[in-house]
Amino acid sequence: MSMKHQTPLLDELEKGTFPSFVKEIKRAAEHSDYAQDLLGLLELSYKEKVTHWKHGGIVGVRGYGAGVIGRYSDIPDQFPGVAHFHTVRVNQPSGFFYTTKALREICEVWDKYGSGLTNMHGSTGDIILLGTKTENLEPIFAELSSKGWDLGGSGSAVRTPSCCLGAARCEWANIDAMSITNEITQHYQDEMHRPAFPYKFKFKVAGCAVDCIASIARADMSIIGTWRGDIRIDQGEVKNYAQGGMDIQKEIVDMCPTECISWDGSEFKIDNEDCSRCMHCIAKMTKALRPGTEKGATILLGSKAPIVTGALMSWVIVPFMKMEPPYTELFELVDKIWEWWDEYGKNRERIGELIERLSFTTFLKEVGLKPQPAMVKEPRRDPFFFWSEEDIEK
Amino acid sequence: MEKEELKKIIYQLVEKSTGKKKLKQSDILKKVAADQGIDKSEVKAALRELMDAGELIFTYFGGSFVEIPPKE
Ligand code: HEM
Ligand code: HEM
Ligand code: SF4
Ligand code: SF4
C-alpha cells in the first residue's frame, strides 16, 4: 500500500537515534487503513497544534464495563480509517511470560479486526491493542476469550494487576509475586470487569524492595516482598568481594540508608534492628548476603500519577504480612479498604488522595490497623500518625 | 427474594433516575440491599444478569455508571 497522506512533520521524528513510533505506524500502514489514516490525522494535529481525538462514548463488550476504551476522530469524513479507534486492553500473564504461539494468536486476531498496532505492557501493564471499530469489539472478545484470554481493567475498576517476574527468574524474590498477582486477578474478577469504584485501583506486586515493577510509585496498593530476622552473611564471600576490588566501605557501608553496617576489613557486621530492608547491600553482594529466612510482604497504599492532585508515592500500612495461599488476610484487608473508600471517596478520588483528605489516623482507625513506627509518609521525614487525645492513657 | 423480582427493582431504579442522576454500581448495591433488607452480593448477582443480558450497561463519563442502553 502506498502512503495515503504526506507526513513531513512526522517524518522528522524518524530522524533521531531512538526507535520511532512513526516508523512503526508506517510499517503497519503497509497493510492497514487504520494506520494510514492515523498518520494523516496525527500529522494534521501536529500542524494545527490541536488534538483531533474525542473521548469515547459507550463502547465495550456485553456484560463488561471495562477493558475497552472508546476513541473517535472528530473529523471522520477526512480520515474514515480512524472514525473509530478504540483501544482494547488484554490481561497480560503474570510476569509477562508468553509462548510464541500465544503472541501469534493475539496478533492474528488483531490483524483481522484491528489496526495491527499494539503496545505491549506500557505503564498500565496490559497488552494494549490500539484501534478498532465498535462493530468489531464483540468478535474480538469472542475470539480472544475462546483462546483463553480475558480483557483487563479500565475506568473506575480494579486495573489489571501486574508484577515483576519474581521467583520465576529472580533469586531475590521473597514472595511468589506471580502467584499472588494471579490470585488477586482471579479473586477480583467482578471488580475488574464491572467498575464499581470512585476511581481506578491498581495492584502491583514486587518480589523484593528493588521493586522492578515500580509498584511504590504507580499502584494504589503495592505489595513488596521482604523478610523478618537477620540478613544471612557469608564472611568468606565478603572477603572475596574485598579482594576482588570492591570498596566495601564506599559501595556498601556508606550507601546503607540507615547506617547500620560496619566493616573493619575482616568482619562485616549488620545491626539488623536498624536495617530498613532496602536490599542495597544484598543486591550488591549477591554471593555474600542473603535475606533472612522468614519471608512475607510489606503492604503499601496510595501511589498515583498526577491528575486530580499531584503525584503520590505509596506508604506503608502493614510492615509485614505472611503471604501464603489463599491470601485471606490480604483480601480481608483490601475489602475493608474498599468499603471505606466507597463510603467516603468522591468521584475520581484515588485512595491515597482520600487518606490525605480525611487523615491517615482516620483511615487506620476505620480499617482497623494499628499505628506503627514503619508508617512514615516519606523516608526519614515526618511521622504520619498523630495520637489523638483519647488514645493517650493518663 | 426472587431473582427476577430483584432484577425488576434494579431496572426500575435505574430507569427512574435516568436523566436525573447517574448511578454507580455501588449506589445501586447499597440502596437496593438496604431497601430490601438483603445482602449486597445478592443484588450484585442480579445486576450481573441484567448486564450479561444487555438490559443494562456500564457507561463511562469521568466515572463509571450503570445505565439503560441507548435506543438505536
Ligand atoms: C482524547 C483522547 C485521549 C485521552 C483523554 C487519553 C487518555 C488516556 C489516559 C488517561 C490513559 C492512562 C490510563 C490509565 O492507565 O489509567 C491512557 C492510556 C493510553 N492511551 Fe490514551 N487517551 C486518548 C487518546 C488515545 C489515542 C488516540 C491513543 C492511540 C492512538 C491512545 C493510546 C493510549 C495507550 C497506548 C495507553 C496505555 C499506555 C500505557 O499503559 O502505557 N490514547 N490514555
Ligand atoms: C512527557 C510527558 C508525559 C509522560 C512521560 C507521562 C507518563 C505517564 C506515565 C508513565 C503514566 C503511568 C503511571 C502509571 O503507571 O500508572 C501516566 C499516567 C497518566 N498520565 Fe501521563 N505522561 C505525560 C504527560 C501527560 C499529560 C500532558 C497528561 C494530561 C494532560 C497526562 C495524563 C495522564 C493521566 C491522566 C494518567 C493516569 C494517571 C493515574 O494513573 O493516576 N500525562 N503518564
Ligand atoms: S523486584 Fe526484586 S524479585 Fe522482582 S525482579 Fe526485581 S529484583 Fe527480582
Ligand atoms: S538492606 Fe539496606 S538498610 Fe539493610 S543493611 Fe542492607 S543496605 Fe542497610
Place B31 in a pLDDT band, splitting at 50, 70 and 90: very high
Q: Do A195 and B29 touch (CB under 8 A)?
A: no
* Cα A66 to Cα A192: distance, rounded to the nearest angstrom: 7
CB A41 less than 6 A from any atom of ligand 1: no
CB of B26 less than 8 A from some CB of A: yes
pLDDT of residue A376: 81
Which of B 1-20 lie inside 8 A of A, CB atoms? none
- Separation between Cα atoms, residue A363 and residue A384, nearest integer Å: 11
Q: Give the burial class of A136: count Cβ atoms within 10 A of its Cβ; 0-12 exposed, 13-18 middle, 19 or more buried.
A: middle
* Cβ neighbours of A58 in B, within 8 Å: 57, 59-60, 69-70
Per-residue model confidence (pLDDT) at position A86:
96
Mutate to test the interface with A, among B26, B44, B61 (most CBs of A within 10 A): B26
Q: Is B52 on the interface with A (CB under 8 A)?
A: yes
- DSSP, collapsed to helix, strand or coil, labels residue A332 as helix
Q: Is the pLDDT of residue B40 over 80?
A: yes
Is pTM beyond 0.90? Reply is: no
User: Mean pLDDT for each 10-residue chunk of chain A (394 residues)?
Assistant: 90 93 95 96 97 84 92 96 96 95 96 95 92 96 96 94 94 96 96 92 97 95 97 97 97 96 96 95 96 97 84 93 96 97 91 93 94 79 67 75
Q: Identify which ligand lies nearest to the alpha carbon of A52.
A: 1
Cα angle: A171, vertex A176, A179; to 5 degrees: 140
Q: A58, A62, A138, A346: which to substitute to probe chain B, counting the most B Cβ within 10 Å?
A: A58
User: How far, in Å, from the CA of A304 to the mean position of ligand 2?
Assistant: 10
| Chain B residues inside the 8 Å CB shell of A64 | 51, 58
Is residue B45 less than 8 Å (CB to CB) from chain A?
Answer: no
The interface predicted TM-score of the complex, written ipTM, equals: 0.86
Secondary element (H or E) of residue A365: helix A360-367
Provide the residue type at A74 as one letter.
D
Per-residue pLDDT, averaged over B48-65, amounts to 88
Closest CA to A158 of A181, A142, A141, A128: A181
The chain A residues in contact with chain B (CB within 8 A) are 56, 58, 60, 62-66, 70, 155-157, 190, 194-199, 342, 347-348
Q: What is the pLDDT of residue A1?
A: 62
Helix (H, G, I), strand (E, B) or coil at B50: helix
Nearest by CB to residue B25, choosing from A62, A195, A348, is A195
| pLDDT attached to residue A373 | 83
Q: Which of B60, B65, B68 to mutate to test the interface with A (most CBs of A within 10 A)?
A: B60
